[in-house]
Amino acid sequence: MAQEEESLVEARLAALCGRLHEWLVGAAYPLWSRQGVDPRNGGFVETLGQDGTPLRDPRRARVQPRQLTAFAKAPMLGWRGDVTGIVRRGVDYLVAHYRREDGLYRTLAGIDGHPLDERALLYDQAFVLLGFAAAAVALDARAEFEHRALDLRDQIEKQWRGATGGFRSGEVDVDRRESNPHMHLLEACLAWAQIGNDPGWAAWTDDIADLAVARFISPASGALGESFTPSWDAAPGTAGRIIEPGHQFEWAWLLLQCQRRNWPARRAHALRLIAVGEDAGVRGAVAINALLDDFSVHDPNARLWPQTERLKGALLAASITGDSRYSTYAAEAAASLFLYLDTLIAGLWLDLRLANGALVDSPAPASSFYHIVGGIAALGASLR
């Protein structure tokens, strides 16, 4: 790319960042702090209707630490609301209504906090670890929250460590292994490795990154699968053939941060994941939901969250490699977010874009806020 074209891409990224930042700080944080936090108990609601009102949906465990993470980043992004109060009350709600006696966290509760599903899932535990890392920084209480996180990590190790590496997915489908919970466990371990004192965080980071390279990523195609057997072979049937473009980008973003050990291999695999996502998984300027392992389209629709992961992966690849094509990918991903953020009430989003380009009119899931905030934060950091 010529120097002039590179300058144009950089200018476009800066302009997109400004618009996204204005939306986030001027509309989204104020709206979700008013309507997305339960005023009675401090818990986070599951969804907001497109009129901005909270819906009475049951509350998944994973949404609580995701929202903790989203709000903990707010001061860094320039929002001056009551982050400390929101995070502290959110932590108290999470522990009070989701923590079981054995130290693991149940997966679902009602809006009154009553347990609705007692099962514990690895995916949810990973997000609790991530939420604790965010709260540790936001509340300036690293020792307190690392103690909590280590207790939970010990329970994961004790109850779910597999004989062939990695972990079971939890107390459901015990003969199934999944890459996705490991991805978020890696994300949490990376966060704790930066702020914590226990050397086990770095060790877990390396172990999960090595597992991804050895087991999750196909040596033939370079694509990363979703579902596996206990021996880490692809699961039978369609489940074992699914490839999610959003996860190619998200894993790439994580592996590019794992530079402590086996860096050349991790870097090469990460860049190949981005290539798979871009070449096979981006259709009509958006990352679609799912492919099969022959790169044929399995689900041509496009949720919001893969666009934020495409943005994050491309930005980090551009920084590490200096290759300007990744900046072009990032600019396209950032621009695509506005397709989903074009709502009647600013600060909300639409979650699903159909293959024909139409956006589905549906409530805004709180779970997407973590993705949106992460993408905007990464874009802002890349321009500093």
State which H helix or E strand residue 47 sits in. strand 47-48
Closest CA to 274 of 251, 301, 303, 240: 251
Fill in the DSSP letter of residue 132.
Answer: H
Which H/E stretch holds residue 154? helix 142-160
Q: How far apart are CA 238 and CA 225, in angstroms?
A: 11
Residue 2 has pLDDT above 80, yes or no: no
Q: Indicate the pTM of the whole model.
A: 0.98
CA 49 to chain centre: 22
Q: Would you place residue 384 in the very low, low, confident or very high pLDDT band (cuts 50, 70, 90)? A: confident
User: Whole-number mean pLDDT of the chain?
Assistant: 97
What pLDDT score was predicted for residue 5? 85
pLDDT (tens digit per residue) in 236-269: 999 999 999 999 999 999 999 999 999 999 999 9
Quick one: pLDDT at residue 353? Answer: 98
Share of the chain above pLDDT 70, in %: 100
Is residue 86 within 8 Å of residue 148, measured between CB atoms? Answer: no
Specify the DSSP element, H or E, that contains 115: strand 115-120
Question: Closest Cα to residue 362, out of 350, 370, 378, 353?
Answer: 350
pLDDT score for 146: 98
